[in-house]
């Protein structure tokens, strides 16, 4: 189990001078505290940067200290506030310690963004080792459920509290070779919909973002796919901000993002 928290400060050449902050004020996000899972790279990094630019204090968690440190450095360099907590979300003890550390560095949690996830290589379900789809379900479905369970008391005390799940188009339409991943993402959507019905009267908003192909390192190079046509991580981050900026009288329950042009090469 590895759980570690720290705050980075950017240090540059003495003669560079102080860079002007680029943080923008957002009435709905300013001074709110957010926890973003899978925040070291790709979509999670983009979400963390977008929240920080909008004025939120952000804690990012992932397994790589190096990647998290880079995100925190980028946020602090541009005038924002961020903290990094290294944790393995498939380890129950690590999740519990993550919750303790997040409470300590943030002082409270208003926004919870479940972005961490991953999929094994495509393959025939009948031939897939049971341990492989166990890991897939544990990371993509059980981990966000467990973390939500831990943090619901904090969110009930939060300011304009919200939970956002980054699911996938795979959670809306099954595909051959991705049975466990698709099942997990379908499960995320079902959990989010049920959770919303339980907490909506408490003022906690619950949203799901379902992106199609996003150009990240999780998608291996493939000559049959044109990466230039894929969604960008910033597209998903913009959808998260849209969901969070919805007024208190409305709930943005689900957003589906598809590439405008098909990335499949004909």
Catalytic site residue from 6, 77, 181, 264: 181
Contact call for residues 196 and 251 (beta carbons, < 8 A)? yes
Q: Which two tokens stand for residue 102?
A: 């997040």
Of 243, 225, 200, whose CA–CA distance to 34 is shortest?
A: 243
Question: What DSSP line would sit under 35-80, residue for residue?
Answer: EEETTTSHHHHHHHHHHHHTT-EEEEEES-HHHHHHHHHHHHHTT-
CA distances (Å), 232 to each of 57, 69, 107, 164, in order? Answer: 23, 22, 32, 18
Q: Which residues contact 76 (CB under 8 A, 6 or more apart)?
A: 7, 8, 9, 10, 82
Joined tokens for residue 19: 């860079």
Residues with Cβ within 8 Å of residue 125, at least 6 apart in sequence? 133, 177, 179, 180
Q: What is the dihedral of CA 13, 18, 22, 26, to 10 degrees?
A: 130
**Quick one: 2 exposed, middle or buried, by C-beta within 10 A (0-12, 13-18, 19+)?**
exposed
Measured CA to CA, the distance from residue 136 to residue 141 in angstroms comes to 8
Question: Is 77 known to be catalytic?
Answer: no
- Burial class, 28, CB count within 10 angstroms (exposed 0-12 / middle 13-18 / buried 19+): middle
Task: Show which residues are catalytic.
Answer: 181
């Amino acid at each position: 189990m590895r759980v570690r928290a720290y705050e980075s400060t950017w240090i540059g050449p003495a003669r560079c001078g102080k860079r002007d902050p680029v943080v923008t004020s957002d009435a709905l996000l300013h001074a709110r505290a957010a926890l973003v899972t899978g925040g070291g790279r790709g979509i999670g990094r983009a979400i963390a940067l977008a929240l920080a630019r909008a004025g939120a204090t952000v804690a990012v968690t992932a397994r790589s200290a190096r990647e998290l440190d880079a995100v925190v450095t980028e946020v602090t360099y541009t005038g924002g506030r961020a903290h990094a907590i290294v944790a393995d979300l498939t380890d129950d003890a690590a999740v519990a310690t993550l919750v303790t550390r997040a409470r300590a560095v943030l002082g409270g949690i208003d926004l919870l963004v479940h972005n961490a996830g991953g999929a094994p290589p495509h393959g025939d379900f009948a031939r897939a080792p049971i341990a492989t789809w166990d890991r897939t379900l544990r990371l993509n479905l059980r981990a966000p459920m467990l973390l939500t369970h831990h943090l619901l008391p904090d969110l009930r005390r939060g300011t304009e509290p919200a939970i956002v799940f980054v699911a996938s188009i795979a959670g809306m339409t099954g595909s051959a070779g991705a049975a466990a991943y698709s099942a997990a993402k379908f499960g995320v959507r079902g959990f989010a919909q049920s959770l919303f019905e339980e907490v909506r009267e408490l003022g906690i908003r619950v949203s799901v973002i379902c992106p199609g192909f996003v150009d990240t390192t999780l998608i291996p190079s493939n000559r049959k796919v044109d990466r230039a046509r894929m969604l960008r991580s910033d597209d998903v981050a913009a959808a998260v901000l849209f969901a969070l900026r919805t007024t208190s009288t409305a709930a943005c329950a689900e957003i589906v993002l598809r590439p405008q042009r098909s990335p499949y090469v004909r």
